[in-house]
């Protein structure tokens, strides 16, 4: 069980990190970000890794329209 966690946890962290980078790049208009702009969020996510991805998700990600 522990061996499985050793492999799954890093893959999960990597997936969250890559998801955040892709999500920042896919925002069509920089004015949609809640705070900052695309360049700032790329720098934050790339240099702080998964912590930056979580920060982006919490305070920087544009609000999605509700249907």
Tens digits of per-residue pLDDT, 6-25?
A: 889 999 999 999 999 999 99
Q: How far apart are CA 62 and CA 38, in angstroms?
A: 11
DSSP 63: P
Q: Which residue has the tokens 């969020």?
A: 41
Structure tokens belonging to residue 22: 């892709």
The more confidently predicted of residues 1 and 4 is 4
Q: How far apart are CA 48 and CA 12, in angstroms?
A: 16
* pTM of the predicted structure, to 2 decimals: 0.81
Give tens-digit pLDDT for 17-67. 999 999 999 988 888 888 888 999 999 999 999 899 999 999 988 877 655
Burial of 56 (0-12, 13-18, 19+ CB in 10 A): buried
pLDDT recorded at residue 11: 93
């Amino acid at each position: 069980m522990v061996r499985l966690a050793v492999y799954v946890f890093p893959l999960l962290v990597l997936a969250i990190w890559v998801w955040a980078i892709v999500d920042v790049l896919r925002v069509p208009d920089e004015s949609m970000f809640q705070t900052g702009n695309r360049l700032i969020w790329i720098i934050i996510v790339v240099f702080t890794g998964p912590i930056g991805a979580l920060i982006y998700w919490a305070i920087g990600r544009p609000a999605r329209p509700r249907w």
